[in-house]
Chains A and B, each alone.
Chain A
Amino acid sequence: MFYRENGQFKASYVEDQRIFKVQQDRVAIIAIVAIAALLVPMLASDYLLRALLIPFLILSLAAIGLNILVGYCGQISLGTGAFMAVGAYAAWNLGVRVPETPLLLQILAGGACATAIGVLFGIPSLRLRGLYLAVSTLAAQFFLDWAFLRIPALTNYSTSGSVSVGSLSFFGLPVESAAQKYLFCLGFVVVFAVIAKNLVRSGTGRQWMAIRDMDIAAGVIGIRPAYAKLTAFAVSSFIVGVAGALWGFVHLGAWEPLAFGLDRSFQLLFMIIIGGLGSIAGSFFGAAFIVLLPIVLTNVPELFGLPLSVDTAAHLEHVVFGALIVIFLIAEPHGLARLWSIGREKLRLWPFPY
């Protein structure tokens, strides 16, 4: 009823190439961003911002990065955690060695370093496919974990190998309170989500998808596989690296290689599988599912005043969470994004489905 597009005509190419072709979608997305930027920092509690929304935003960003590689270009990667670590450690090193560097530049430089490392570890993808590629990216994870533990120069000879950042400021504005940190992350997420969405609709993005769907056929129609695969690795690693730098700088403040271990790589991979491969919106759904749901689940018994001990609650959380993953994947193997788009199609036709 409210979701009807009668009378919305596309009169120019610009209108035809919009990201959100339906007016209601445009209004909704602007409203969501406006609420996220204006209302949420005013109303949300410190806990909600620091413990839930900031990690959600940063991991959504990382999931977008990974989705470009896995969802759009079809190259499986198990080294996402390591590329995040590269972003975090590179940004940190720049900050320690050249203290005058502004925060934004540090974070982007972290992304740039992650790009270089990502492309390097993307080279095997020119010869390897599927599971074999997954194993070779696993090597990146192990190697980089080892490097950050073992090479003292990378952690500025910190005795324990753990590093930490001081107070942050963004062009003179402090990034200290929960709301400031939240807005800082939100800015990155919005900018990179728009860039990513436009990239996947561009010629480059179509090349990635052609490679994903059938690389031989893509080669036959004149797409260079090496170029397409390596650009996917580069763009993906850049975004993942920026997310890593944000995770270290804004969310944790102090970290050790364990924060970017293999578990993180799996976590991100699960996010995009559950959220939806090849969908920017899916990255957000997946991140919400993996980050927010467990915390909500642990708090449920307490909300209802059930006297459960913390370990029982923790075990229960794992059981329910695992079951939900299975249920969602059986209901819709293409992820939450697909469920959402089915719902949307139904809404467009309602009340006269055919």
Chain B
Amino acid sequence: MQNRIAQGIRGLAVAGTMAFALTAPSIAAAQAEQFIPLLVYRTGSFAPLGIPWANGKLDYLKMVNERDGGVNGVKLSYEECETAYNTDRGVECYERLKAKNGGGSLFDTQSTGITYAVMDKAPLDKVPVMTMGYGRSDSADGSVFPWSFPMLGTYWTASDIIVQDIAKKMGGADKLKGKKLALVYHDSPYGKEPIPALQALAQKYGFELMALPVVAPGVEQKATWLQIRKERPEYVILWAAGIMTPTAIREAQATGFPRDKMYGIWWAGSESDVKDIGAAAKGYNAIAIQGSADRGKAHDDILKHVYDKDQGSANSRDEVGTVAHTRGMMIQMLTVEAIRTAQEKYGKGKPVTPEQVRWGLENLDITQARLDELGFGNLMRPVKTSCADHMGSSWARIITWNGQKYETTSDWYEADMSVVNPLVKAGAEKYAKEKGLTPRDCSKE
């Protein structure tokens, strides 16, 4: 304290202005808080998904501040930055927020393009990047990607789980042999990412994979669906985003393809994708990250501590409990738990640096008991990360649109790691070679 006063006096004497004295307290105040940067897209063509997602992220932070007074007494501060799903803007946001207020704890970029652009910068800046359910699938290998965390699943685990559910509906994995599955995908890195996994699965189970690209933004799909009508695949896997999803469902309706034989990836499985179609989308399936279509105690806490006090981020309370909003909450819950884990090692009740948050993310161990305590007991399965496994778990369930809302319609599935792991390993090795990186030795940590 004395030091600061001395500094203040010196500052006044040297500079002869009030500026220093005014800024000094605000620096001190910022240090007692944990800063979480929020990259969001509330505008642009993907905004219908981006808004509830961003609100979920924001609401959970508000709730933790309100209910628990932060993490062990350290308040969470945050700032949103609008990317409009644009990579240039995303990079600008990342640069703006990475060193702000003592360092951005971690970045959830909400975009595959921004993830790829930020991923190579993050190790130099020592900032972790968490890409829950998207990201770069091979970054699950923490020995090559120490700063990337594709928590709870990647596109490759999702592909495997969708195929598992299809196999179950057909009456066993052996029934897949000789059958045809179509992948209708958004023609971008996002849409292409599942292809290697689905090809590996096709080889394993002996089904034929038709990969049908749709040019972004995906409003023109007539040709694709005519091809589907011609080739008659058993099931269609939809790797869509934004306007592409409702368009695909409408085209499926027009060409008479049964909606209950369609599977969307989680980005094509929120209320905004099907609400306007209503009954015609009935039966449409999507994979949920863990169990994000259900409601848990965490939702009640948000309503009680945030919305009842008129602090809610969404315009209406009804948004709480929607798939995208819950997903935002889950991301933020993992963030907060990573900060808590880091605090346990580096000092409780003190803000942690981004580098320490990385340690927290890598040593996360959320048990079922802890999940129940947090109010996510029925939404998620336990998560445990390690140096070698940055994904933590790959549990997921299938949800189905019943005309009014999503219902969970399957049991828990876990991805078949004998399919996914070789791909992750190969991808990570290739990346390490291209970049000239030496992977960490995880057995020594």
* Least distance between A32 CB and chain B CB atoms (Å): 24
* Least distance between B36 CB and chain A CB atoms (Å): 15
Other-chain contact of A256, B116, B427, B434 (Cβ < 8 Å): B116
Quick check: is B119 within 8 A (CB to CB) of the other chain? yes
Contact string against B for A residues 249-284, beta-carbon threshold 8 Å, 1 for contact and 0 otherwise: 001111110110000000000000000000000000
Q: Which of B81, B120, B121, B196 has the most CB of A within 10 A?
A: B120
Given contacts A253-B120, A254-B117, A256-B188, contact A159 B82 (CB under 8 A): no
Quick check: is A47 within 8 A (CB to CB) of the other chain? yes
Q: How far is the CA of A256 from the CA of B191 in the complex (A)?
A: 12
Contact-residue size bin, chain A (C-beta under 8 Å from the other chain): 20 to 34
Determine if B116 and A255 form an interchain contact, defined as CB atoms under 8 angstroms apart.
yes
Q: How far is the CA of A51 from the CA of B193 in the complex (A)?
A: 28
- Considering only CB atoms, which chain A residue lies closest to B187 in the complex? A149
Given contacts A164-B434, A166-B436, contact A255 B117 (CB under 8 A): yes
Given contacts A51-B96, A253-B121, A254-B116, contact A310 B40 (CB under 8 A): yes
Quick check: is A176 within 8 A (CB to CB) of the other chain? yes
Quick check: is A5 within 8 A (CB to CB) of the other chain? no
* Least distance between B134 CB and chain A CB atoms (Å): 11
Quick check: is A6 within 8 A (CB to CB) of the other chain? no
- Considering only CB atoms, which chain A residue lies closest to B199 in the complex? A159
Determine if B43 and A315 form an interchain contact, defined as CB atoms under 8 angstroms apart.
yes
Cβ contacts under 8 Å, B51 to chain A: 311
Chain A binding surface, main DSSP class: helix
Binds A, one of B85-93, B256-264, B271-279: B85-93
Other-chain contact of A160, B99, B193, B216 (Cβ < 8 Å): B193
Given contacts A252-B87, A258-B188, contact A51 B117 (CB under 8 A): no
Quick check: is A298 within 8 A (CB to CB) of the other chain? yes
Determine if B95 and A314 form an interchain contact, defined as CB atoms under 8 angstroms apart.
no
A-B pair number, CB within 8 angstroms: 96
Quick check: is A313 within 8 A (CB to CB) of the other chain? yes
* Least distance between A35 CB and chain B CB atoms (Å): 22
Determine if A164 and B124 form an interchain contact, defined as CB atoms under 8 angstroms apart.
no
Determine if B95 and A51 form an interchain contact, defined as CB atoms under 8 angstroms apart.
yes
A residues 224-270 near B (Cβ < 8 Å) are 251-256, 258-259
Cβ contacts under 8 Å, A52 to chain B: 92
Quick check: is A25 within 8 A (CB to CB) of the other chain? no
Determine if B436 and A159 form an interchain contact, defined as CB atoms under 8 angstroms apart.
no
* Least distance between A204 CB and chain B CB atoms (Å): 34
A residues 141-159 near B (Cβ < 8 Å) are 149, 159
Cβ contacts under 8 Å, B137 to chain A: 159
Determine if A159 and B95 form an interchain contact, defined as CB atoms under 8 angstroms apart.
no
* Least distance between A272 CB and chain B CB atoms (Å): 19
Contact string against A for B residues 209-231, beta-carbon threshold 8 Å, 1 for contact and 0 otherwise: 00001001000000000000000
Given contacts A50-B95, A51-B95, A256-B188, contact A310 B119 (CB under 8 A): no
Given contacts A47-B95, A51-B95, contact A311 B119 (CB under 8 A): no
Determine if B195 and A159 form an interchain contact, defined as CB atoms under 8 angstroms apart.
yes
Quick check: is B444 within 8 A (CB to CB) of the other chain? no
Quick check: is B80 within 8 A (CB to CB) of the other chain? yes
Q: Which of A47, A298, A309, A314 has the most CB of B within 10 A?
A: A314
Cβ contacts under 8 Å, A176 to chain B: 124
Q: How far is the CA of A252 from the CA of B113 in the complex (A)?
A: 10
Quick check: is A325 within 8 A (CB to CB) of the other chain? no
Determine if B82 and A254 form an interchain contact, defined as CB atoms under 8 angstroms apart.
no
Q: How far is the CA of A262 from the CA of B113 in the complex (A)?
A: 16
- Considering only CB atoms, which chain A residue lies closest to B216 in the complex? A258
Determine if B192 and A160 form an interchain contact, defined as CB atoms under 8 angstroms apart.
yes
Q: How far is the CA of A162 from the CA of B87 in the complex (A)?
A: 13
Determine if A258 and B434 form an interchain contact, defined as CB atoms under 8 angstroms apart.
no
Cβ contacts under 8 Å, B427 to chain A: 159
A residues 269-317 near B (Cβ < 8 Å) are 295, 298, 309-311, 313-315
Quick check: is B73 within 8 A (CB to CB) of the other chain? no
Q: Which of A254, A255, A258 has the most CB of B within 10 A?
A: A254
Determine if A164 and B116 form an interchain contact, defined as CB atoms under 8 angstroms apart.
yes
- Considering only CB atoms, which chain B residue lies closest to A317 in the complex? B82
B residues 176-211 near A (Cβ < 8 Å) are 187-190, 192-193, 195-196
Q: Which of A96, A162, A167, A251 has the most CB of B within 10 A?
A: A162
Quick check: is B62 within 8 A (CB to CB) of the other chain? no
Determine if A254 and B119 form an interchain contact, defined as CB atoms under 8 angstroms apart.
yes
Given contacts A47-B95, A55-B88, contact A254 B188 (CB under 8 A): no
Quick check: is B136 within 8 A (CB to CB) of the other chain? yes
Q: Which of B187, B427, B435 has the most CB of A within 10 A?
A: B187
Quick check: is A345 within 8 A (CB to CB) of the other chain? no
Quick check: is A46 within 8 A (CB to CB) of the other chain? yes
Quick check: is B388 within 8 A (CB to CB) of the other chain? no
Given contacts A167-B436, A252-B87, A311-B42, contact A46 B120 (CB under 8 A): no
Q: How far is the CA of A162 from the CA of B84 in the complex (A)?
A: 20
* Least distance between A252 CB and chain B CB atoms (Å): 5
Determine if B82 and A166 form an interchain contact, defined as CB atoms under 8 angstroms apart.
no
Cβ contacts under 8 Å, B81 to chain A: 310
* Least distance between B188 CB and chain A CB atoms (Å): 6
Q: How far is the CA of A47 from the CA of B96 in the complex (A)?
A: 6
Q: 6 more A-B contacts (CB under 8 A) besides A47-B95, A149-B213, A159-B193?
A: A51-B91, A160-B112, A160-B189, A162-B112, A166-B435, A256-B189
Pull 29 A–B residue pairs with CB atoms less than 8 Å apart, ordered by A.
A46-B99, A47-B99, A50-B95, A55-B88, A159-B137, A159-B193, A160-B136, A160-B189, A161-B189, A162-B112, A164-B119, A166-B434, A253-B117, A254-B116, A254-B120, A255-B116, A256-B116, A256-B188, A256-B189, A258-B87, A258-B188, A259-B88, A309-B42, A309-B80, A310-B40, A311-B47, A314-B43, A314-B82, A315-B43
Which residues in A have some Cβ–Cβ distance to B below 8 Å? 46-47, 50-52, 55, 96, 149, 159-162, 164-167, 176, 251-256, 258-259, 295, 298, 309-311, 313-315
State the 5 A-B residue pairs at the shortest beta-carbon distance, nearest first: A311-B42, A160-B189, A51-B95, A166-B435, A162-B189
